[in-house]
Amino acid sequence: MKRTNTSAWLMAAATLLPLAAQAATVQVTVLGRDGKPLADAVVVIEPASGAKPAEPTPVSAVISQQKMQFVPATSVLPVGSRVTFTNLDTWEHHVRGVPAGLASLNPGTQPGFELRLDGRAEGKSPASAEVTLDKAGAVQLGCHLHGSMRGFIFVADSPWTVVTDANGTATMQGLPEGAAKVRVVHADQLLEVTPVAVNITPVTALSLPTQVQPRRRRP
Ligand SMILES: [Cu+2]
């Protein structure tokens, strides 16, 4: 009888241990081919232990079409999020979303979508359409009418997926200490950057060089 209790206690302790270790804050700075900080890079950290955090809560987001650009150009959104595409230009856009071919990051079959959005008429509210992102993975955005328009959505099933800011930095919290893999995906280089092995300590800051050459630097 006592033996049973002990093993039950051990099992409980083993279950709790990984939680106790979840204290690390990780700051990743991604650099482009020119050595400058790379904005709009999606950084994904995967603990080697396979520890999975709770899925992030879906959100409602807006991606505008403005002056022939998607704004924001790159979004990381939790699975189940809803995106409203809003055309702020006075001319039509025909937005398409195509699952990006990243085998290891896009195992699901994110369905594509097409949205025809009329140009904004004076005094009227802009045309918009909503899409729900049901599956994790990468989606490339384009416009059938304007080949130069490119955007990127990374649908994440982990909160440890963050897009870099103008300083090329992504910060994540609550990661378990220990071995992990860092992946970087950038819309301008859909070839995956080779994942980097790191050891996460309570405060980890690392710099990650890549060969990504952004098409256009943010002003
Ligand atoms: Cu367009």
Residue 6 lies in a domain: no
Q: Ligand 1 centre from 69 Cα, in Å?
A: 8
The residue ranking higher by pLDDT, 164 or 2, is: 164
Q: Ligand 1 centre from 115 Cα, in Å?
A: 10
Residue 9 lies in a domain: no
CA atoms of 126 and 166, how far apart (whole Å): 29
Q: Ligand 1 centre from 100 Cα, in Å?
A: 19
Residue 10: the pLDDT is 46
Q: Do 150 and 166 share a domain, yes or no?
A: no
List, in sequence order, every beta strand (DSSP E) within the chain: 22-31, 41-47, 60-66, 69-71, 74-78, 82-87, 93-99, 113-117, 128-132, 137-143, 150-156, 161-163, 169-176, 178-186, 196-200, 203-209
Q: Do 71 and 150 share a domain, yes or no?
A: yes
Q: Ligand 1 centre from 112 Cα, in Å?
A: 17
Q: Ligand 1 centre from 93 Cα, in Å?
A: 4
pLDDT at residue 5 greater than cutoff 60: no
Q: Do 130 and 168 share a domain, yes or no?
A: no
Residue 8 lies in a domain: no
Q: Ligand 1 centre from 178 Cα, in Å?
A: 46
Give the contacts of 216 (CB within 8 A, at least 6 positions apart): none
CATH code of residue 187: 2.60.40.10
Domain boundary among 109, 136, 157: 157
pTM > 0.75: yes or no: yes
Read off the pLDDT band of 7 (50, 70, 90).
very low
Q: Give the percent of the chain with pLDDT over 70.
A: 81
Q: Say if CB 210 and CB 31 are below 8 A apart.
A: yes
Q: Do 151 and 168 share a domain, yes or no?
A: no
Q: Do 167 and 121 share a domain, yes or no?
A: no
Q: Do 117 and 139 share a domain, yes or no?
A: yes
CA atoms of 126 and 88, how far apart (whole Å): 6
Q: Do 64 and 149 share a domain, yes or no?
A: yes
Per residue in 39-48, pLDDT (tens digit) is 999 999 999 9
Q: Ligand 1 centre from 210 Cα, in Å?
A: 30
Q: Ligand 1 centre from 136 Cα, in Å?
A: 26
Residue 52: the pLDDT is 80
Residue 193: the pLDDT is 65
Q: What is the mean pLDDT of residues 34-41?
A: 93
Q: Ligand 1 centre from 45 Cα, in Å?
A: 34
The residue ranking higher by pLDDT, 218 or 125, is: 125
Q: Ligand 1 centre from 90 Cα, in Å?
A: 11
35: tokens are 């050595």
Q: Do 135 and 101 share a domain, yes or no?
A: yes
Domain boundary among 157, 178, 207: 157
Per residue in 181-206, pLDDT (tens digit) is 999 988 876 656 678 899 999 888 99
Q: Ligand 1 centre from 118 Cα, in Å?
A: 10
Q: What is the mean pLDDT of residues 171-183?
A: 93
Please give the backbone phi and psi of residue 18, each rounded to the nearest 5 degrees, phi first: -60, -35
Per residue in 45-77, pLDDT (tens digit) is 999 988 888 889 999 999 999 999 999 999 999
pLDDT at residue 165 greater than cutoff 50: yes
Residue 184, SS3 per DSSP: strand
Q: Do 63 and 151 share a domain, yes or no?
A: yes
Q: Do 39 and 111 share a domain, yes or no?
A: no
Furthest CA-CA distance within the chain: 79
- Give the chain's domain count: 2
CATH code of residue 73: 2.60.40.420
Domain boundary among 131, 157, 183: 157
Q: Do 164 and 92 share a domain, yes or no?
A: no
Which amino acid appears at position 193 of this protein? Answer: V
Q: Ligand 1 centre from 114 Cα, in Å?
A: 12
pLDDT at residue 3 greater than cutoff 50: no
Residue 63 lies in a domain: yes
Q: Do 62 and 152 share a domain, yes or no?
A: yes
What residue numbers bound the domain in which 106 lies? 56-157
Residue 105 lies in a domain: yes
Average pLDDT score, the chain:
84
